[in-house]
Each structure stands twice: as structure tokens, then as C-alpha cells.
Structure 1
Amino acid sequence: MINKLSFLESKKALLVNFTGSSYHWGCYGTSMEIYHSLLEKNYYVETVGVGVTHGISPSAEQLSDFDDQGFYNRFSEQNRSLIQSLYQSDVVVVNGEGTLHRLSKGSINLLYLMYICKKYLNKKVHLINFSCFPNGDATMPVGNTTIYPIVLKYMDKIAPRDHISNEILFTNGVKTAQSFDCLPRFLARYGEENSHAPTGNILVTGGVSFQDNRYELMVDFINHFLKKNVRVKFLLGAHFSTAQEDVILQKKLKENPNLANLEVVQAQSMRQWIDEFKSASFLFSARFHHSIAALSIGTPFRYFSSNTPKISAILETIGENVNEFYLADNETDKLIDAAEECLYGSASIKSKKRLKTMISMADENFIGL
């Protein structure tokens, strides 16, 4: 916790790819933990939101653009305010989260920003709290995706939050320090760790990757429990700009006549979001931070894989048995059985040992700042 702040040293940290205002409250929690921790390090903090980093123009379209002086000149001209913020910072802290995968515009923009901080602006750059899957899976970078190790080997600190990302980068010559996601630290900061107190309802959420067969499974799952008069809630909510794929999914679910009693919870605050995990007897999700919240609070859960192996990777990183939580796309009966066991047995997965491991590993994000 913050006891006393001092700005006498006048250090400025620019927190890039800040997710506190968008997507869902889990992103808010992990970004705000980074913000808090930088204040505790006596930095004053300016943020650059994830919407800015993903929307930057121009974007590098080929590897040669990274070292092209003309491209940098055009980029600087069109992004003067951003370049000024980078230039005026003592350290650039990049909250990578789930941005760095494949060759999307967001990932290319973030890689380019980090690269010009070193090449042109001579800044100290720490990339923390992130997963990295250059090809979208656990394979090593090849061809154009080699831009990942090419760029990241120049950074001052690289702290991947899962062991697969760590191995991919380390194997390709990047010096790394294994860390973890910052959400457990945030929850513990406010005494919400291991706070599970189930009340007999089921919580469901969407995810980045939700094909038709997953939709049908979710319909069958929700319908099974609604017919038994079990409360089922679909969780939405962010400080701003809620994840649109979740909004679309819940609308589609509500249009199903069998799911008329499905409750939609639009969490208006981090407090309300946390309370939904605390009270749920079971969580079913395809969301990364929802899985970490469940691990931190103690909510039993099962998950679909996301758009990268990041959920399985964080479970493996802290020594959890992935098979206890993972759900294949056709395992409706397995999902129902798991939920019923928790509903009628008042189950919880609270663990002081797990929490200590997650927080201790997450501390690595801030070493050297």
C-alpha cells in the first residue's frame, strides 16, 4: 500500500498501452496496479492508452520501416504529442498485456514505439506484464515475426508474465525476467484475495475467440441451469469501452427464447466486478483476466482457450494442473458436472500458496525501476 509519496526526485514514467479505461475491469485492475506501483517508486506518471497505441498512423508495413529514417520522420510529424511525451520521460514502462501476438496493427505499433525509444530517443524502456506469441501459438518466430526478438533484445527490461512467452524470447536471444500478471497484486492491495463467499449462482463471460460451436455449448450450459431455477449471470463492464465481442455475445444469448431469464450484469465499478467473482459458485469464461481473478479470489472455474495459449500458459507458470480447468469445445457434460459439483458442494479454490506465488512473481515487473 502507498504510505507516503514523494515527488522531490522529479522522476517521470510514461506508462504506454494503459488499459485502465477500456475492455473490461480486469484490464483496469492490472493497469492500475502498475500505476500504483510506479507512484510507490516516486515517479509521477503519464499514460498513453491502449486505444492510442492500437490506432497510431502511420504503421510500419515492412521490417525495413523500423530502421528507415524517412519513415521515422513521417511518424514523428504525425504523432508530435506522443513523441514529446516519450522524449520528456525518464523511463518508458510498456504494459504489454495481450497486445504482442502475431503481426496485428497493435503489436506492430507497440514494437515500433519501443524500438524508436531506444534507437532515436535513447530512453530506458521496461516491457512488463505481458504475453508474447509472435505466431499466435507456442512456436518460435520465423520470417516476419522475427521482428519480435529483433526489437526486444534492445530493451532494458523484459518481464513476460508466462513461461511460454519467456521461453520463446529467451531462446531467441532476448534477456528476460520471468514475472506474472499484476491483477493478483491489485486484488491483494485491497484485501480481496481469497475472498470467495459463494451464494449459489453461476457467472459466465465471453472471450476474444468464440466460434459457433462454443456458442451452442454455452446455450446448452446456461439453459440446463436456468431450467433448475439457478441464477446465471453474464458479466460485462469496463471503465469505458466495454469489449464489443462480449456485448454482441450477450445480445445473441438473450435473443434465444430459452435464455430469457439470463441476467446481464453491467459492472459499473471495479468493486462490483470483484463482488460478482466473490459471490459466484462457478465461473465459465474464455477471458484471461477473469481466469486470474478467479485464481486470486478463489472462484472455481473452467475456461475455453483464448486467441493465444495465454490462459493455459499462466496456469502452467504457477504450477497448476491445466486439465483441472481447461474445457474443450465439445465437453458440455463435463462443464455441467463441474458446475453442479460446485453449486451443491459450496466449493472454493482459495489458496494462500498460489496467491503468494502469483504476487511474488508479479513483483518482478517492478524490479529495476
Structure 2
Amino acid sequence: MRVLFVTPRWGPDIAGGAERAARAWGVALARRGHTVRALTTTATTLDWSPVLDAGETTDDGVIVERHHATARDGDIDRALRAVGPLAAHLERTAARRLIERQGPVIDGIEDAAQNADVVIAYPYLYWTSLRATEVAGRRTVVHPAAHPEPLVALSALEPVFTAPGGLVYQTASERRTVEAHWPTAQVRSLELAPPLVASARERVPWDARTIVLAVGRFEHDKGSEALIALAEALPDPLRVVVAGPVVEPPRRPSPLQTLGVVSDTRLGQLRAEAIATVILSRYESYSLAAAESLAAGVPIVVNGSNDVLVELATTSGAGIVAADGIDVAAAIVALATDRELASRLETAALAWAQQRPGADEAVERYEAFLTEVAAHAPTRRRS
């Protein structure tokens, strides 16, 4: 099968749950003998600044075709926040203009899609996903990676949710979010979390664990202010360490430590030293960072206002749901001082990981779904 991924960014060093999940699926399919291409930008950050070379390269069996993108409108974040409550009522042309300003607008989608049996668009809120769905129609499989936010209802995004041949949801919460806004009964769907690459490793002794780990972009919408407040509230020797790109630097001096993007090896070392992984973001459609922490035997402390995170914490039995910053700090202190509690959550985390479908089983289900979508898509001229 010829599979095309269309995604804003691609690569082993790209920080972002959606991008990492897309790459995990692509590499897994390539290893199973499929011809996998990724059409993407030359950017490594969300302003679409060109960093990597345009042209073709190979990434772990995936042929990667990079194009320079138009620059992201510097005012688009403010515009999207302003539109938020009115998203469902915004006129379609104006809504499409917002998506174009968000970007990334790139060449090559039409030509690449023509030569693919199935086109995978990932995630929903970008011009690349909208254009891929318009071009490939029922040959498209969309991974929305959607979370509860008004922009899901933007009228210009209707094709992304109602016109593809398939929708892949990472959680039941994500499905509910999409179905609350769009009629998707006619679209094949699958609930399947991405394959996990993290695994349990020997952890440092319990009384030597002093790290509270946060993984992902450091910015306001991902809970940066709450992380700073947590770092200030924790007693010595506990410390908050952030592994991920610093999009918005801390607004004031704090004991919080930011490492930037780290290697998978270094991330594994940090997890081995962590009391818990803390996820305080308001916007998560799955949180690969949380799932990978559980797979490594690390408990999670999550934002209680995010349904996806609450679902993961409660169903795994290895998480603590915090209502506010005081609760987060109290949860961390409890894990650092109550060996029985920490051990119980660690055991639950490993049990949760063992009960999940194995990577091979997950990829087989995904492969079967793509095959079904391709088989039912309208025929086209092959070039």
C-alpha cells in the first residue's frame, strides 16, 4: 500500500505529541513493507520558519518530502482566541482565511496525493489537513487530535470531519468532542492510541527521586504559569524539570529548570529519576507524554479541567487529578513522602501499560483500517 502522511512537521527531533504519533505510525507501516511518504514543511517550530532543507530525505524507512511554507501570521493566535466563542457562527470564507493564516501553506499536496492509496492528515487545525482532505476526499484518513475548544466548530473545517474516508480517534473523549460538533456517522472510524515507544526501566531508589517531570512545549496554553507556580511551591529538594522547547520563556525568575528538547535516551533517564510526570495543559487530545510515563512506571498528576487527562489518570489507576495549583503541589509532596502511595501508583502504571494492545497489535489494527478505507475509496487514475 502507498501511504502518504501530510503533517505540518516531521522528524525524530520534533517536539509535539501529534507529530510524534504521526511519525510512530509512519515508521511502523514502513517496517511492515508499505511505501510511506511524509509531505511536510522545512520548519521545526510552529511559526513555520525554514530550518531544514527542502527536498527529499529518508527517515527510518519513510521518504520525507519537505517544502518551504508561507510564514505563519504573527497575529493569528490573538485572532483565533478572539474568534473562539463565535467559531461555530463564523462565515465560511472568513473561517477559511483564518486557517490559511494559521498555515502551513505548502506546495506538493495535490501531486503527492495523486500517487497514494491512502492519505493521512494529522492534526485537524491546520491548512495542510484541510487541503489534503479536499484533494484526496474518501482516500483521506484524518487523525483530528482534537480537544474541547471552540475552534473544532469552525465552518471551514467541515470537510476535515465529514468528507474523509476515515477518522482515527486517540480516546473516547476525543470522539465525543468531534461528534458534538459534526455529523460523522457516514465516516468510518477507529479508536486507537498511537504505539508507545517508552518502556519500563530500572528507576532510582524511591528516596532519591527528586524530579517532577514535565514533557512538551513550555508555553502558556500548555500550563507554563502553573508549572512555575508549582516549582515555587515545592519544598527542597523537589524540583520541576521541563523537557521540551521553550516557546514562551518564563516571565519571572523561578527555580523551574528548562532543558529544551532532549534525546529519547535522556528522557528515559529523567523518567527514571522522576517522582511523577505532571501535565497541566488545558489542551490535550491524548497526551503521549502521559501515556509514555505510565508505560515507564511513572505516576502522573494531571489538570482536572481536561477530560482526556482525567480519563487517562482514572482508568489507569496511576494518576492523581488535581483541581488547582495547591492540589498539584500537595499531590507531589504526597508521592515524595508516602512510599506506599508511590509504589501503588507505580504498580498500577505498569499494569496499565501491560493491558494495552502491544505495538504489533496496534499497528495491525491500524493497517487493516487503512486497507479498508483504501478499498472503499473511489477509484482514480494512477500515475
Query: So what's the TM-score if we normalise by structure 2?
Result: 0.63
Distance in 2 between the 1:281 and 1:182 partners? 25
Superposition pairs for residues 5-84 of structure 1, below 5 Å? 11-17=1-7, 18-20=9-11, 23-24=14-15, 26=17, 29-49=20-40, 63=92, 79-84=106-111
Structure 2 match to 1:244: 247
Amino acid at match of 1:280: A
Q: Deviations over 1:147-202 (max 9, x none)?
A: 54544333222111121331344564313434233152x23xxxx14765554112
Q: How many residues align?
A: 304
Query: Matched residues in 2 for 1:177 and 1:58: separation?
Result: 33
Q: What is the TM-score with the length of structure 1 in the denominator?
A: 0.65
State yes or no: 1:340 paired with 2:350.
no
Listed one character per residue, the Cα deviations across residues 186-223 of structure 1 (whole Å, up to 9, x for unaligned) are: 23xxxx147655541122437676379973x5445323
- Residue in 2 aligned with 1:349? 346
- Identical pairs, percent: 9
Task: Return the alpha-carbon distance in structure 1 between the equivalents of residues 334 and 143 of structure 2.
Answer: 38
* Alignment CA distance shift 1:343-1:176 (3 Å): farther
| Residue of structure 2 aligned with 1:87, choices 109, 114, 120 | 114
**Which amino acid counterpart does residue 237 of structure 2 have in structure 1?**
N
> 1:16 touches 1:95 (CA, 8 Å); kept in 2?
yes
Amino acid at match of 1:63: R
- Do the aligned residues in 2 keep the contact of 1:39 with 1:45 (CA within 8 Å)? yes
Query: 1 or 2 for the larger relative contact order (CA 8 Å, sep ≥6)?
Result: 1
Work out the CA distance in 1 between the residues paired with 2:333 and 2:346.
Answer: 15
Q: Secondary structure at the match of 1:368?
A: helix
**How far apart, in 1, do the equivalents of 2:222 and 2:5 lie?**
37
Q: Aligned Cα RMSD in Å?
A: 4.1
How far apart, in 2, do the equivalents of 1:303 and 1:136 lie?
23
Answer yes or no: is the 8 Å Cα contact 2:303–2:321 preserved in 1: yes
- State the distance in 2 between where 1:274 and 1:193 align: 9
Q: Could you give the per-residue CA deviations for residues 129-153 of structure 1, whole angstroms, max 9, x where no partner exists? A: 733546258xxx4xxx345454433
Say if 2:268 is the partner of 1:268.
no
Unaligned runs of 5+ in 2: 49-68, 73-89, 97-102, 282-286, 371-383
1:249-289, Cα deviation, whole Å (9 max, x unpaired) = 3xx45x24xx2xx5443453112123212320122233533
Alignment of 1:218-229 (within 5 A): 218-225=227-234, 227-229=235-237
The residue type paired with residue 349 of structure 1 is: E
- Tell whether the 8 Å contact from 1:235 to 1:267 is kept in structure 2 after alignment: no
Structure 1 pair 13–211 and aligned structure 2 pair: CA distance change class (3 A): closer
Amino acid at match of 1:276: L
**What is the alpha-carbon distance in structure 1 between the residues aligned to residue 223 and residue 33 of structure 2?**
50
